Structure 1
């Protein structure tokens, strides 16, 4: 196969020659640089490249082009080369329009013209595109086959598990001929769903998370029995702790129950995270963080449920659901929070069958032409509304309060106001969910007046519950279950009961010495991705201080 291709598309010949020249100067030894003067010409070239079997690593397209602008072109280019990385070239005056347009397609970056000096403004962006393309690759991937039913809750959870762990899979419904044929070949029946067939032909009937994780090559077993640092939870705080812990030489293992990313990992687009002016999906951000942690040597264990944490002398011991244990000098608890259950009749029975907690991006294709309802008024609900507006005919946000202003970022409120098929209903709650096999109708209450509406999709984003009951009494928590740390433990002028050291707890340290807390699970924490990452890094600094004291 010939060299992979970097393509640049611009209707201005001078700009086109300039960007091609700069790309060849830096990447000419390893990549073939080609340029086109219009979106139509570029698509013709991409079709020829596809027929020849060559690879396209990255595409740079001008935002303003006649007949076909950069966004429209990149949408069509994605159909031909879905793994190619994408960037927009735009003038300063079009920056706002370009950023808003980027939400239409999954563009990685935008570049302002002119980009002089390229060493500072062009090459770092292209380096990031190329690095991501190399990690993802452009080769055919072996897919897991997943056979289930659209309105079967275990089938939904299995789809969500595979998607969030970036495991390539193909979905087959038991209602389709192909799905039934695969079931027959697997010597399984509809009663066995979900059924998973791995690329090597292994058949798993109604597998658990750990079983499927083992089968598809995810790491579930620790390589050692003792570590310097165990990080519990793979959200932004846990990933931040793993990156900084491993990069600073600590033997680090991160343990995650479901998939790295936490709630942030399910976000369709995070637009207020520092350093990503055109936004980044939660999956992209957390995938990069996971790869970064592993690059520094951190182990990442998936599908491991932590059920106990205790101090045994100088060791801190973590117990898994299967009874096995690992020990370490220190622990960072970064288990995050989960969405609170919606207290309405019928919700629990229809969970995973039309009622979902979080964005459940795997359901997006099923929402085409449907009316989707979203419960919640914070950023996560707003981001989901913007995402589903590209698929559903209508999206309605249901808010208990009088407006979004008190709980949602201003940029997101403005974005929602500009999308025609998103509607906001205030002073409105869900009273009941109706349906037999799946959600069919919702009973809503607005200012005391009830009505029943047709809908097959309800996504819930209400509040946060820390789920810390498993910690026991040794680790102090507030009345809501969030873990108290540092100054909160000595607010009455006394150290916490059972504290054994001749000093006060460090700022992020819990009531058990050597157990630190970062992110949303910590009492009084700021519920933002950036602050969670910062606390993860800060906790590692305090771990070093603790270890030096021993």
Structure 2
């Protein structure tokens, strides 16, 4: 009988009591099936197994752990197994394709759309235009010389086909361009839907505030590109950034927040006691308060020959959407923060080798300890300190990198693919001179503003809320901003921002009385 050669999705190994060697056995099996999920199964109350399990999860030797079912029909066990299989399926790709895209795999536009669909948790099937499947699909759509990439919305009954669509074209085809009521006055407009913006929208809408969220790209911001966040409260075995962000989006939506996609704020001005935001589509929206949570963009590497190959072997972020295409390759990750560490761990599941390049002598000051330990334990990951990427070469795709040692000046040329995660730059240019910013572009808040008397010309002169210091960024997090009237947020401070929004709305109501 011929073997079907089905892939192994999950490996379950018993631990504790009669299975003292369960972890070692599971590790051995996992080496034979590296694409599977490794899951430890323990009995409730066997607390002696906790420490070795937690250590194995930290080192990336286990993906999850769960309890042995104690009764027939243990739904908690069934739910846990389903989550394991769901995560394995997400890593493999395939399955239902709500959207199908055919294009040049290494074009920057195709890469951008893959990343956007992935971050928004839209089931996507991508097919190279030069492959047999790709050519067959284009022929089935009666497209002989299409403008690539071609995007087909398969979840709609008429299955519309878009050639080289803009982000607005896609949003329109998805039915996301419903115009806002021009006479509407919101209690709160949240600019950006990263973790801080989503947190603010959940708390504001749940407390009855009429809330609008503006998002020009994808739910979750940079956090949405993280393959696995392990230090977020409530998720002991971790959760992907886009799953976490999408859950918060659904929560905010359920409470009544209005989401306005593929439109961005272009400026904010005070208007008769209100705040008027001009939008990228030419419309405007009026609100009593505004939370600025526009987050940051990946800092560019600044090497001309590498910038010319963006999307074609040089990627900014995008580890989740591009990882499956890295099989058999040597991948270089530039950056020493948590985002770079998470990207390296995720890419190591696909690439033959992953090399993390950092300018510092170690990761200690820039990366969380659990990630450092996990990188150290991965056999196909190397951390190379005191180096900098200074050049590269390639035609249609990156072929070689030039790496310089900062202490000796020696240079080496190596073949590989480059993922750049070297920090971020605040997205605050749209504010112009309406709010005070430091020389890096971060919003000045709290005590920083109070040191300026009188305020510099063009800077905000309205009420000043005390708050944390955003300038310079956050060592192990992402910085966004909130201006109610006028404050910056770090990840997880959405609830605090809404507290200040309530206080400001109370002041407005008191003044009106």
Q: TM-score, normalised by structure 1?
A: 0.75
Give 2:127's match in structure 1, choosing from 150, 156, 172: 172
Give 2:99's match in structure 1, choosing from 122, 144, 148: 144
2:424 maps to 464
Q: Give the gaps of 5 or more residues in structure 1.
A: 1-46, 48-58, 117-121, 509-517
1:487 maps to 447
2:162 maps to 204
Q: Cα distance 1:349–1:529, how it changes in 2: closer, same or farther (>3 A)?
A: closer
Give 1:528's match in structure 2, choosing from 459, 477, 490: 477
Q: Deviations over 1:157-195 (max 9, x none)?
A: 111111111111211111112211222333435551111
State the 1:87 CA deviation. Answer: 9.0
Matched, 1:414 2:373: yes
Whether the aligned pair in 1 keeps the contact of 2:363 and 2:372 (CA below 8 Å) is yes
1:343 maps to 302
Whether the aligned pair in 2 keeps the contact of 1:430 and 1:444 (CA below 8 Å) is yes
Q: Cα distance 1:505–1:131, how it changes in 2: closer, same or farther (>3 A)?
A: farther
Rounded to whole Å, the distance in 2 between the matches of 1:493 and 1:415 is: 49
SS in structure 2 opposite 1:346?
helix
Rounded to whole Å, the distance in 2 between the matches of 1:449 and 1:440 is: 20
Q: TM-score, normalised by structure 2?
A: 0.80
Give 2:410's match in structure 1, choosing from 449, 466, 471: 449
Whether the aligned pair in 1 keeps the contact of 2:390 and 2:404 (CA below 8 Å) is yes
Whether the aligned pair in 2 keeps the contact of 1:188 and 1:205 (CA below 8 Å) is no
Q: Cα distance 1:287–1:197, how it changes in 2: closer, same or farther (>3 A)?
A: same
Whether the aligned pair in 2 keeps the contact of 1:345 and 1:431 (CA below 8 Å) is no
Give 2:203's match in structure 1, choosing from 219, 222, 244: 244
Rounded to whole Å, the distance in 2 between the matches of 1:314 and 1:527 is: 37
Q: Cα distance 1:187–1:60, how it changes in 2: closer, same or farther (>3 A)?
A: closer
1:181 maps to 136
Q: Deviations over 1:384-410 (max 9, x none)?
A: 111111111110011111111121111
Where relative contact order (Cα < 8 A, 6+ residues apart) is larger, the structure is 2
What is the CA RMSD across the aligned residues, in angstroms?
A: 3.7
Give 2:224's match in structure 1, choosing from 265, 270, 275: 265
Give 2:272's match in structure 1, choosing from 289, 313, 321: 313
Rounded to whole Å, the distance in 2 between the matches of 1:332 and 1:129 is: 39
Moved more, 220-229 or 486-495: 220-229
Q: Cα distance 1:270–1:529, how it changes in 2: closer, same or farther (>3 A)?
A: farther
Q: Give the gaps of 5 or more residues in structure 2.
A: 1-5, 480-488, 509-513
Whether the aligned pair in 1 keeps the contact of 2:213 and 2:260 (CA below 8 Å) is yes
State the 1:202 CA deviation. Answer: 0.8
Whether the aligned pair in 1 keeps the contact of 2:41 and 2:68 (CA below 8 Å) is no
State the 1:500 CA deviation. Answer: 5.5
